[in-house]
């Protein structure tokens, strides 16, 4: 089961139909956080590696946003 953490669109106000308690409850099931905790607990990854992956992901996301915003269609 998945849960959309953000609003459906930029015109959507998700607070109209779901409360803070619901969102907080689902945050505990975030698959990225769960994987980080599991890999850390097993000694497979450390905080430095997690930070490096997050930084790489942010660079990739920024490039995708830039390309999307540049596309007139």
> Are 40 and 46 in contact, with CB atoms under 8 Å apart?
yes
- Which residue's entry shows tokens 């490039």? 63
What is the predicted pLDDT for the residue at 4?
86
Q: 47-63, pLDDT tens digit by residue? A: 999 999 999 999 999 99
Whole-prediction pTM: 0.65
The Cα 27–Cα 6 span in angstroms is: 11
Write the CB contacts of 47 (distance below 8 Å, at least 6 apart in sequence).
40
The Cα 52–Cα 55 span in angstroms is: 5
């Amino acid at each position: 089961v998945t849960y959309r953490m953000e609003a459906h669109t930029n015109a959507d106000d998700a607070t109209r139909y779901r409360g803070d308690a619901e969102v907080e409850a689902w945050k505990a099931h975030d698959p990225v956080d769960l994987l980080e905790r599991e890999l850390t607990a097993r000694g497979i990854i450390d905080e430095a590696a997690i930070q490096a992956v997050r930084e790489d992901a942010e660079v990739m996301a920024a490039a995708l946003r830039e390309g999307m915003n540049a596309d007139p269609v």
